[in-house]
């Protein structure tokens, strides 16, 4: 049976956490769930053993909400920096893809890996750039690889939990002068990310 990739971007990390739990409850393996989150607090908490995968300023509450709260977390948890985005947390199949790109030691390789991973899995290029920009602005991306007959239900789970409409969000970004994801753009500060989440996190551009 044909496998497809279903993708959702969330303004609120807690919404992504809820979607991830619902998708697992639906029967999708953690191996088939990719996660990419902006680690604006520079902290990733592993609630299984109480340790920090990375440490730094801030509480890390948002990322801790996404990655914690259950045994095992997601597979392939990793922390890396992406040009234009800054520190990110990746897990599942998406982490492996990005780690492979970063291992190439080519400047901007992880960025190409992010856009490439999405387009190679079936995301159209315009949406891929919106998703990458959304992560840059503090969003959390879930990408789920499923059988064709599971796709509609997984898509519904993402939407029910607050996944944004990529086309509408792209129009909102473009209305302020944005054209496409630019790895040379300055990294958003935690305060700027908080403002973005407040601006878009009220359902204005959700499906």
The predicted-structure confidence for 9-57, as pLDDT tens digits, reads as follows 999 888 998 999 999 999 999 889 988 888 765 433 444 333 333 333 3
pLDDT value at residue 51: 38
Poorest-confidence range of 71-80, 127-136, 196-205? 71-80
User: Which residues are CB-contacts of 28 (< 8 A; sequence separation ≥ 6)?
Assistant: 144, 146, 150, 154
> Measured between alpha carbons, how far is 128 from 7 in angstroms, rounded to an integer?
10
pLDDT value at residue 44: 39
Between the CA of residue 51 and those of 43, 44, 64, what are the distances in Å?
Answer: 11, 9, 11
Average pLDDT over residues 93-116: 60
DSSP one-letter code for 128:
H
For the CA atoms of 42, 96, 73, 89, the dihedral, rounded to the nearest 10 degrees, stands at: 10
The dihedrals phi and psi of 81, each to the nearest 5 degrees, come to -110, 135
> Measured between alpha carbons, how far is 51 from 175 in angstroms, rounded to an integer?
42
Average pLDDT over residues 51-78: 44
Compute the residue count for the chain: 207
Residue of 5 and 68 predicted with greater confidence? 5
**Per-range mean pLDDT, top range of 17-21, 93-97, 102-106:** 17-21
Task: Indicate the pLDDT class of residue 97, thresholds 50, 70 and 90.
Answer: confident
pLDDT value at residue 37: 87
Q: How does pLDDT run across 111-132, given as a tens digit for each residue?
A: 556 787 778 778 889 999 999 9
pLDDT value at residue 57: 32
Q: How does pLDDT run across 145-204, given as a tens digit for each residue?
A: 999 999 999 999 999 999 999 999 999 999 999 999 988 888 888 899 888 888 886 544
pLDDT value at residue 146: 94
> Measured between alpha carbons, how far is 155 from 5 in angstroms, rounded to an integer?
10
DSSP one-letter code for 20:
H
């Amino acid at each position: 049976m044909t496998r497809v990739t279903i993708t959702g971007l969330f303004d609120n990390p807690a919404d992504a956490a809820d979607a991830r739990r619902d998708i697992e409850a639906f029967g999708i393996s953690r191996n088939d769930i990719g996660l990419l989150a902006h680690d604006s607090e520079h902290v990733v908490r592993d609630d299984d053993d109480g340790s920090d995968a990375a440490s730094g300023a801030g509480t890390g509450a948002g990322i801790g909400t996404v990655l914690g709260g259950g045994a095992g977390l997601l597979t392939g948890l990793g922390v890396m920096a992406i040009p234009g985005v800054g520190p990110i947390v990746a897990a599942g199949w998406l982490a492996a893809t990005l780690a492979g790109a970063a291992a190439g030691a080519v400047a901007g390789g992880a960025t190409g890996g992010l856009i490439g991973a999405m387009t190679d899995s079936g995301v159209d290029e315009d949406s891929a750039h919106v998703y990458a920009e959304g992560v840059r602005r503090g969003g959390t991306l879930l990408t789920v690889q499923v059988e064709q007959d599971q796709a509609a239900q997984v898509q519904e789970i993402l939407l029910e939990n607050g996944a944004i409409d990529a086309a509408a969000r792209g129009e909102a970004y473009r209305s302020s002068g944005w054209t496409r994801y630019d790895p040379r753009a300055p990294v958003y500060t935690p305060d700027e990310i908080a403002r973005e989440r407040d601006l878009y996190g009220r359902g204005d551009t959700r499906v």
